[in-house]
Amino acid sequence: MTRSAERPLSPHLTIWKWGPHMLVSILHRLTGGALTVAGLAVLTWWLVAISAGADAYATFAKAAGSPVGLVVLVGLTWSFWQHFFSGLRHLVLDIGAGYELKINRLFSVLTIATALLATAMTWFIILGVGK
Amino acid sequence: MNAGNSATPLGKVRGLGPAGNVGHHWLEERLISVAILLLSLWLIFSLMMLPSLDRHTLAEWLRAPAGAVPMALFVITAFRHGLDGMKVVVDDYVHDDGTRIGLHIVLTMVAIGGAALALFALAKIAFGVPA
C-alpha cells in the first residue's frame, strides 16, 4: 500500500483509551476464533468418540475431565456465551439501533456481565445435578 | 461486477465489495448467525437436561430424530459460521491477494473436511447398531 509521508496515520490501538466497546469487539473476534478452532475440534472428537465405541469415549471423557480438559471446556463455555451475547449485540447494531454512546456502552458491559453469569450457571447445572 | 464507469456514485461502487455480491453475502451471514444462535441454545440446553453424559445416554439421544436432526444442522451451521468468521479475519489482516485467496481455499477445505467427519460420526451413531 502506498502512503504519503506528510499525511498522519489515524490514531491506532496504542493511543486509544480502552472502553468496554473495544474490549467486546476484540473479545468477539478472539472467542470466535477459539470456538472455531478448539470448539469445533472438541465437537468433532466428541461425536467421533461416541460413534467409535466405549474405549474411544473413555479416552475422550478422561481428557475432558483432566485439569487441562476442564480449563479448555470452561474456557469454551465462556467463549460461547461471550460470543453469543456479543453476537446478539451485533444483530441489534445491524438493524441500526444501539449506537447512542450510553446505550452502546451499556450493551457492551451487559454482554460481558451476562456471559460470565451464564458461564457460572451452565457449570453449576452441569456439576450440580450430580451427574 | 461493475466496471465503475457509471454516472452516479452508487453505480460506481455497486458490485465492488470484497465478495462481489456483498448484499447477499451480508444477509446470508446474518441468517446463519440467527440459525447458530438457536441451534447452539438447543445443544447447550439439551446437554444440561440429559440425565447423564455417559456414552450410552448420548448415543440414545443422538439416535432419536429429535437429537440427530438438530445435531446435523448444528454441525453444518457451526462449521459454516466458523468458516465465515475465519475468512473475515483473513480478509482483515492478509493484504496480499494471492495469500488471501490461498488461505480461503485452505480454510474451506478444512471446514468441509471437519464437517464431513463430524456428520459421518453422527450418521454412524444414528443409524448404527445399538451398543
Note the helical H segments in chain B.
9-13, 22-49, 55-63, 65-93, 97-127
Question: How confident is the prediction for chain A on average, in pLDDT?
Answer: 91
Predicted model pTM: 0.86
Write the single-letter amino acid at A110.
Answer: L
**Minimal Cα distance from B128: which residue of A?**
A51
For the residues B34-57, what does the mean pLDDT come to?
A: 95
Encode pLDDT of B96-120 as tens digits. 999 999 999 999 999 999 999 999 9
Which residues on neighbouring strands pair with residue B17, listed in sequence order?
B20
What average pLDDT does range B48-72 have in this prediction? 95
Report the gap between the CA of A14 and the closest CA in chain B (Å). 17
Q: Is the CB of A121 inside 8 Å of chain B's CB atoms?
A: no
On the question of pLDDT at B16 being above 80, the answer is no
Q: Is A3 on the interface with B (CB under 8 A)?
A: no
The answer on pLDDT for A130 being more than 60 is no
Q: Which three cell numbers stand for residue A41?
A: 475440534
Confidence bin at B5 (pLDDT 50/70/90): low
